[in-house]
Amino acid sequence: MVMMALFFSYCHSTKKAAAAAPAAATSAFTYEKSVQPILMNSCAPCHIPSKGGNKVALDSYANAKNDVEDILKRIQMAPEDRGFMPMRHPKLSDTDIATIKSWKDGGLIEK
């Protein structure tokens, strides 16, 4: 009887954990909601061709996803380091940098 109660309590806990897993797996950070606004505000006009940019394009999900490692590397540099981005502008906020990191760590979700 005790064994049966332990079994059912274990199954019940597992169901709760399984039900919570999809919500936890869904990232709160998506390209469209979280990352695109940062790129449009901080990387334009240089990296947004529609705004006159002529550098590596960061104007789409595919481009940002493909270049996320370089983006993170450059935005985390010290402003005086060669390769720092955004060039000739203040460093992105810790919140913006954390958002891009979280987007990457969360699986680079588009929408």
Cβ–Cβ under 8 Å, residues 103 and 33: no
Q: Tens of pLDDT along 78-87?
A: 999 999 999 9
| Whether the predicted pLDDT of 12 surpasses 90 | no
Q: What digits encode the pLDDT tens for the residues 18-77?
A: 444 444 445 699 999 999 999 999 998 889 887 776 788 999 999 999 999 999 999 999
Note if the pTM is more than 0.75: no
For residue 37 the two structure tokens come to 């606004």
pLDDT at 54: 72
Evaluate whether 63 touches 88 at the Cβ level (below 8 Å): no
Distance in angstroms between the alpha carbons of the first and the last residue of the chain: 49
Domain ranges of the chain: 26-105
Q: What percent of the chain has pLDDT over 90?
A: 64
Q: At a CB cut-off of 8 Å and minimum separation 6, what does 58 contact?
A: 39, 43, 47, 48, 64, 67, 71
Residue matched to tokens 């380091």? 81
